[in-house]
A and B are shown apart, each in its own frame.
Chain A
Amino acid sequence: MSALRRFFFYLFLLVYLVAAPVAILYAFGYMWAPGSERGLVRSGLVALNTTPDDAQVFLGASRYTRRTPTLLRDLLPGEYSIRLARPGFEDLTVTARIEPDRATVLDRLLLLPTARSPRPILDETWTGFFAHAGGRYLLLQRGAAHFLYDTRKPDEPPRDISRLFTGIPDELAWSARDPDELFVRIGTRVHRLDLEDGAIYPDVTPPARRIAMAHKRLYIADEEGRPMRVARDGTTEPPGARIPPDFFAYGARAPIPNDAETRWLYADGNRLGALDREEMENGDWTWTNRVLYAHAEKISGAQWAHDDSHILFSDGSTLWLLALERGGGGPPRAVCRIGSRGVFHLDERSGRVWLLDSEGRLNYLALVPPRALLPLARAREEAP
């Protein structure tokens, strides 16, 4: 028995001494390259995930048998063209730059449906609308008249709530927490309206030139044009680590931060840009301006989309989708036609874009699949 134990001990020891270094080197990206680059080289990989998933993957001329989400491993450093195809959706081609030991993460690739004509939902025409971040309610505007529309009850006509408004508001922001709570800016005064009981709570923020709701947070631009975040009790957080101090100097009309407040989007006439927070080695930070797209005619609205990986913006009579890093980058893709006012809203939960067409009618377009409560998709992978 002792001899048998010794035999297996040394056998397993040998296996370990070979397998452990190989596994660790592999995990660090090392691989044995065949052909002209023969030798031990450090590879990289691409993590691909599409919305919707189950798209076929083409790497150059090679087709992968598995579908997204997937990992493309053992790629030598260089640039690769990856095409993703799914029936009923437009092909998407992205360029992935592979570096040694680096994972290029393209996990927010958005496939646009081939059929994407907006569908009108109400016969009336409107001059504008505001959407509740919860996705259910729309506040439709026609001149000074305001109507509340429940999208889950499409057959019920919009309810006139104009009596709640003492004047024509300059701006509206709808609380994401409570659909009965609406912030209204008239001049520099910001009031809170309770849509349920009709109460008006005046001057809930300091005097403001702009108000906006983003990711369940209320932001204002104060009288000096500084962006601020307003807490529920009315206290404000001045510019600093999370809020760029000179945001409005870039021509921004409304504060549009991403969820992490590390990137603030602005639209200035014919260009889209962002202020990125960058950590410095000493622990401080700096805000860096990046122009994301500079060839627009006249941008009238912009919104973060698909977990802040894309920007949806209206330019002239077209709604565009611009993919950022994790979305695959590249030039903006035309989504659909839109009215000249450029009024739209993407509800991430339902995946619908609400928009006003050229006649002012309310339309919707199912742009992305409704968001699942639990992320069930898991990374699958294969070799080409």
Chain B
Amino acid sequence: MSFAYTRNGLEQRDARLQRLFEIMPGACSWSILAGMAALGLFAPQAAAAVVIAFNLYWLLRLAHSTLFLLLSYAILRAEHRADWPARLASLKTGIAPRENAWSRWLFRGRRRAAARGAFQPLDPDTVRHVVIIPIANEGSDVVEPSLRSLSAQTFDRARMIVVLALEARAPESVRAEIEALAERMRADLPDLHVVLHPDGLPGEARVKGANASFAARHAAALLRARGIPLDRVTASCFDADTKAPPTYFDSLTYYFCIEPRRTRASFQPIPVYHNNIWAVPGFARVLEVGSSFFQLIEATNPDTLVTFSSHSMSFQALDEVGYWPMDMISDDSAIFWKSYLHYEGDYRVVPMYTTVSMDVVAERDWARTMRGLYKQKRRWAWGVENFPLIMRGFLRTRRIPLRERAAHTIKLIEALLAWTTWGFMLTIFNWLPVLAAGREFSQTVMYYTAPRISALVFNLAGIALITTIVLSQLLLPPPPTRRPFLRRARHAFEWLFVPVITLLFSSIPALDAQTRLMLGKHLEFWVAGKSGEKK
């Protein structure tokens, strides 16, 4: 479908639709919050009934999420021990690698699925990878660990093209550092390029997508010049601080080879924030472990999975859809939706049960870290900018089945509203009817029963919290301290503050982002402070 995935240069009808859908998420969120506040103050019985309905819904969602978090974590653990080079070899030999029972079961399942589709896996030896690392202000202290993780790959590095997409507007010192770093790293990464992205090109905003697209075009030209077919190439757009595990590109190659419609797919690893996870304040640790858990849960739902943060995709698809949007901040999710609309629904995200590790926002002190985290979460929440474009695209196309469009729309709206309202519902509106109760309400059965039901719900939710605490202890790397037990115990305690953390660093930034979009105040790109390799 020919659909301009942009909010700029629209015709009048499209511009009106765009504006309408820009207003919708913020207006819905504010309506819910204002409605709950008004109900709590003026119709507390009704507010308490809504709170009960919400609490039960939240509890069941939590139970559902916890169930699939456990399942997803089990798969991640099993796949963590996978012998990826052996698996790649098995694609040619057809003999299952000697792995644990779980991995063998997964492997056979994939083979059966491939056989059902009369599909032959791609020869892994023909696959190449392009890795694009956009750099705005990050110095070599941030980028070098990322490159070192690439140089440590078990995959043949001669078949990897690494492009450092450097902004021309970056300070001279940063540019010099990156050039020097590239020079040093070429011994390990022979196909390493530094592409300088000129500032202020027409049709571009100062966003990461513009820089990454410029670099990807450079890589495409390189591939074409070398006669490498694009359908055998993946493109990985990694944040500057992304550290890939040594077998990442082996596993990507494997997933790419066994995916029947590999040129219509993105490949999403599980993002973790382990680079400096023990060097940041507790609230930041809880928040980022929570983000990883969210992606683990999402990985179990490939039907509506959307790309997030560092991920990989078919280079051919990237080329055909016209690369990343060059006027949007949320390039990671935008490229999925752009591809999905371009191919009119014939595009999907394949979950990869392997991790990529990044930095948690870390500044000099707590206050700055809080501010930095808030801005980062607001930038994530700015992914709402995709909503009006997706809705316009859904209205335009008829080839995506209505059921599929409805499923995506419902999930998007639910996610956007949950993001802004759940924190308020759990920390404020749960108690507002009782706290603001007048004499009339305080003499009703509801006044005494609603808190009792809420208490029961929160006690049951405690099971999910305990599961989360246990999993977070299993997921996190060992603390770099002489008393790791105490550190882990402290981390377990930090989870008790999750309602407040959710409100401050999830609901409020999301509401901020949706309100800005509603009012037409678009966000400027903000580069998160990254600490490099803190231990």
A residues adjacent to B (C-beta < 8 A) = 1-2, 4-5, 8-9, 12, 15-16, 19-20, 23-24, 26-29, 43-45, 47, 71, 73, 101-105, 379, 381
Taking a contact as CB atoms under 8 Å apart, the answer to whether A23 and B445 are in contact is no
How distant is the Cα of A101 from the Cα of B444 in the complex, in angstroms? Answer: 6
Taking a contact as CB atoms under 8 Å apart, the answer to whether A8 and B49 are in contact is no
Which residue from B56, B71, B444 sits with its C-beta under 8 Å from A20?
B56
Taking a contact as CB atoms under 8 Å apart, the answer to whether A16 and B449 are in contact is no
Which residue from B57, B60, B63, B442 sits with its C-beta under 8 Å from A105?
B442
How distant is the Cα of A26 from the Cα of B45 in the complex, in angstroms? Answer: 13
Taking a contact as CB atoms under 8 Å apart, the answer to whether A16 and B57 are in contact is yes
B458 at the interface (CB under 8 A from A): no
How distant is the Cα of A4 from the Cα of B453 in the complex, in angstroms? Answer: 29
B residues adjacent to A (C-beta < 8 A) = 45, 48-49, 52-53, 56-57, 60-61, 63-64, 67-68, 71, 300-303, 442-450, 452-453
Which residue from A4, A19, A23, A103 sits with its C-beta under 8 Å from B443?
A103
Instruction: Enumerate chain B residues within 8 angstroms of A15, measured Cβ to Cβ.
Output: 60
How distant is the Cα of A258 from the Cα of B19 in the complex, in angstroms? Answer: 58
Which residue from B45, B49, B63, B71 sits with its C-beta under 8 Å from A12?
B63
How distant is the Cα of A258 from the Cα of B48 in the complex, in angstroms? Answer: 31
Which residue from B56, B68, B447 sits with its C-beta under 8 Å from A19?
B56
Taking a contact as CB atoms under 8 Å apart, the answer to whether B57 and A44 are in contact is no
Taking a contact as CB atoms under 8 Å apart, the answer to whether A5 and B52 are in contact is no
What residue in chain A is nearest B441 (Cβ atoms)?
A103
What residue in chain A is nearest B61 (Cβ atoms)?
A12
The 9 closest A-B pairs by CB, nearest first: A29-B445, A27-B449, A12-B60, A20-B56, A24-B49, A20-B53, A27-B446, A101-B445, A103-B443
Which residue from B52, B57, B60, B71 sits with its C-beta under 8 Å from A27?
B52
- Name the distance in Å between B328's Cβ and chain A's nearest Cβ: 29
Taking a contact as CB atoms under 8 Å apart, the answer to whether B56 and A23 are in contact is yes
How distant is the Cα of A24 from the Cα of B444 in the complex, in angstroms? Answer: 13
How distant is the Cα of A26 from the Cα of B52 in the complex, in angstroms? Answer: 11
- Name the distance in Å between A64's Cβ and chain B's nearest Cβ: 16
Instruction: Enumerate chain B residues within 8 angstroms of A27, measured Cβ to Cβ.
Output: 48-49, 52, 445-446, 449-450, 453
**With A27-B49, A45-B448, A103-B443 in contact, do A16 and B302 touch (Cβ < 8 Å)?**
no
What residue in chain B is nearest A21 (Cβ atoms)?
B53
**With A101-B445, A103-B447 in contact, do A2 and B301 touch (Cβ < 8 Å)?**
yes
What residue in chain A is nearest B72 (Cβ atoms)?
A1
How distant is the Cα of A12 from the Cα of B56 in the complex, in angstroms? Answer: 10
- Name the distance in Å between B377's Cβ and chain A's nearest Cβ: 27
Instruction: Enumerate chain B residues within 8 angstroms of A5, measured Cβ to Cβ.
Output: 68, 300-301
What residue in chain A is nearest B54 (Cβ atoms)?
A20
- Name the distance in Å between B353's Cβ and chain A's nearest Cβ: 11
A sample of 19 inter-chain contacts (CB < 8 A) reads A2-B301, A2-B302, A5-B68, A5-B301, A8-B68, A12-B61, A23-B56, A23-B453, A26-B449, A27-B445, A28-B445, A29-B445, A43-B445, A44-B445, A45-B445, A73-B448, A73-B449, A101-B446, A105-B442
Taking a contact as CB atoms under 8 Å apart, the answer to whether A1 and B302 are in contact is yes
Instruction: Enumerate chain B residues within 8 angstroms of A20, measured Cβ to Cβ.
Output: 52-53, 56-57
Which residue from A28, A44, A45, A101 sits with its C-beta under 8 Å from B49?
A28
- Name the distance in Å between B258's Cβ and chain A's nearest Cβ: 16
Instruction: Enumerate chain A residues within 8 angstroms of B45, measured Cβ to Cβ.
Output: 28
- Name the distance in Å between A125's Cβ and chain B's nearest Cβ: 47
How distant is the Cα of A101 from the Cα of B49 in the complex, in angstroms? Answer: 14
How distant is the Cα of A104 from the Cα of B447 in the complex, in angstroms? Answer: 12
